[in-house]
Structure 1
């Protein structure tokens, strides 16, 4: 028996957003084919190596192409993001006066590689703070110039401390062996795999928000070794 790729509580969040009719298989095969696509990107194996429990691999691959070309994975990810916003709104009892205005960009967090004047100047023109640390050689050159070197580069230590959040997310995306090596032949297929991985992360966060433990389906690509 083929191991399930999606837990029951996760599937309850995903199922309503999957299309039927023109872009979907029969209801009895919907979950099998969807989990077959997950299996392929999770393991990094070839489509033809797919276990038979997900159905014939040409059918699963064909369904993946239909979903990819129709933007199903993008729509599914956006739907789960909306569910997350609704869950946060239900936890906040304060009344809302419509959709909140988007927050302006006030700072950009980057690594030392982007601390040069060429990168900081466009941000300064837009009044955006650069919160990346300065390289030692750049600081030494400015100090050597004295007053001609200008003001010391500002460093937002508090903001930079949170940049590891992005790095941790990238590591979670690369936990799937079909994502880390980037060997898909077309950018569209790789983007669909990224969206699929992201939308598999989102249900776990939603379940944690609801007070339930997310389902884990085994070690990641780093733990198993890449193909």
Structure 2
């Protein structure tokens, strides 16, 4: 019997052909649908893994599957595949908008070990499997360097925070995601967010990487970003900062022409704000509980996948 939040039959029909069918490291997979429903339950409620209801099976299996799929890019590949299906049906609005949001990290998100053990602490079968999983799920590099910053955790007056940078299509669905420490400036991640837009073709052809237009707020208003977009022939609507306007006017004819600004297009920038609101409906996204940066990125990507499936 399905409960609120579980995959429906239609959603499962989309996901089932895309899921990996074998696991050479640990033998046979446990039922994917049961495990994914457990991950969805944790996404929605933000509960501890060990507090998952028994109907989802062993909580260790659900937790391990989420860690592994976050590490090997399975969540990202599933998201791209669902995006490709929508794009083939003409359901993607390629007027893209970019923004970021700060996420408060729970105290349980701190304290990740700097050097995970590379050898099993004992010869027991369970310890060996846990060590193998730790090696297989070695953290992928995230912007920010080492230490807490290496896990996309930043310190501020309010405590530990993480920032999620994202692009969204015109229908309020995330296209690409990047996580950084909370104090990172938005403009520093613009090119990385743009470069991660990659929607494959169902048939022959290269993945689509360039949107029709890009909208962003004043946080992204600088010459480097504008030059990046011009080189790629992407129309953009980014308001000019008042200090840059004053500097340009002060230089007179040498200051160049003012940046073009389409008010009607800029109003559509609210689609990325609405995409952020959709992501934060998942409590495990709105508050970060994951210690590892790559696991939290997998959590956000899984939430984005559900948004695409359900809209």
Q: TM-score, normalised by structure 2?
A: 0.52
| Superposition map of 1:52-201 within 5 A | 52-88=54-90, 99=205, 102=208, 108-117=214-223, 119-120=225-226, 123=229, 129-143=235-249, 146-147=252-253, 149-201=255-307
Q: Counterpart in 1 of 2:16? A: 15
Q: Is the CA contact 2:78–2:305 (under 8 Å) kept in the aligned structure 1?
A: yes
Give the C-alpha shift of residue 169 in structure 1: 1.6
Q: Is the CA contact 2:42–2:49 (under 8 Å) kept in the aligned structure 1?
A: yes
Instruction: Name the CA shift for 1:2/1:55 in 2 (closer, same or farther; >3 Å).
Output: farther
The gaps in structure 1 that reach 5 residues or longer are 90-96, 206-227
Alpha-carbon distance in structure 2 between the residues aligned to 1:86 and 1:137:
44
Bigger proportion of residues as helix: 1
Bigger proportion of residues as strand: 2
User: Secondary structure at 1:196's aligned position in 2?
Assistant: helix
Please tell me the root mean square deviation across aligned C-alpha atoms, in Å.
3.3
In the TM superposition, what whole-angstrom CA distance separates every residue of 1:182-224 from its partner, at most 9, and x where no partner exists?
331112211211221121112223xxxxxxxxxxxxxxxxxxx
Instruction: Name the CA shift for 1:173/1:127 in 2 (closer, same or farther; >3 Å).
Output: same
The gaps in structure 2 that reach 5 residues or longer are 92-202
Instruction: Name the CA shift for 1:204/1:106 in 2 (closer, same or farther; >3 Å).
Output: closer
Equivalences, count: 196
